[in-house]
Chain A
Amino acid sequence: AQSVTQLGSHVSVSEGALVLLRCNYSSSVPPYLFWYVQYPNQGLQLLLKYTTGATLVKGINGFEAEFKKSETSFHLTKPSAHMSDAAEYFCAVSDPGYSSASKIIFGSGTRLSIRP
Chain B
Amino acid sequence: GAVVSQHPSRVICKSGTSVKIECRSLDFQATTMFWYRQFPKQSLMLMATSNEGSKATYEQGVEKDKFLINHASLTLSTLTVTSAHPEDSSFYICSARDRTGTVNTEAFFGQGTRLTVV
Which A residues have a C-beta under 8 Å from some C-beta of B? 34, 36, 41-46, 49, 90, 97-109, 111
| Whole-angstrom distance between the Cβ of B82 and the nearest chain A Cβ | 24
Q: How far is the CA of A105 from the CA of B32 in the complex (A)?
A: 16
CA distance A100 to B32 in the complex (A): 6
Give the residue of B42, B103, B110 whose beta carbon is less than 8 angstroms from that of A43: B110
Contacts of B114 in A (CB 8 A): 41
Residues in B whose Cβ lies below 8 Å from that of A103: 34, 46, 49
CB distance from B53 to the nearest CB of A (A): 12
* Closest partner residue, chain A, to B51 (CB atom): A100
Query: In the complex, are the beta carbons of B1 and A46 less than 8 A apart?
Result: yes
Main secondary structure of the interface of A (DSSP, over half): loop
Whole-angstrom distance between the Cβ of A70 and the nearest chain B Cβ = 25
Please give me the residue from chain B that is nearest to A100 by CB atom. Answer: B32
The total number of A-B Cβ pairs within 8 Å is 58
The reply to whether B44 and A98 contact each other, CB–CB distance below 8 Å, is no
**Is B111 an interface residue when CB atoms closer than 8 A count as contact?**
yes
Q: Which of B43, B91, B103, B112 is in CB contact (< 8 Å) with A106? A: B43
List residues of chain B with CB within 8 A of the CB of A107: 43
Residues of A within 8 A of B6 (CB): 43
Q: How far is the CA of A108 from the CA of B45 in the complex (A)?
A: 10
Docked complex Cα distance between A41 and B9 (Å): 9
Q: Tell me which residues across on chain B come within 8 A of A34, comparing CB atoms.
A: 106
A106–B46 Cα distance when bound, in Å, is: 9
14 A-B pairs with CB atoms under 8 Å apart are: A41-B114, A49-B106, A90-B43, A90-B44, A98-B97, A98-B103, A100-B31, A100-B32, A103-B34, A103-B46, A104-B95, A104-B107, A106-B43, A108-B42
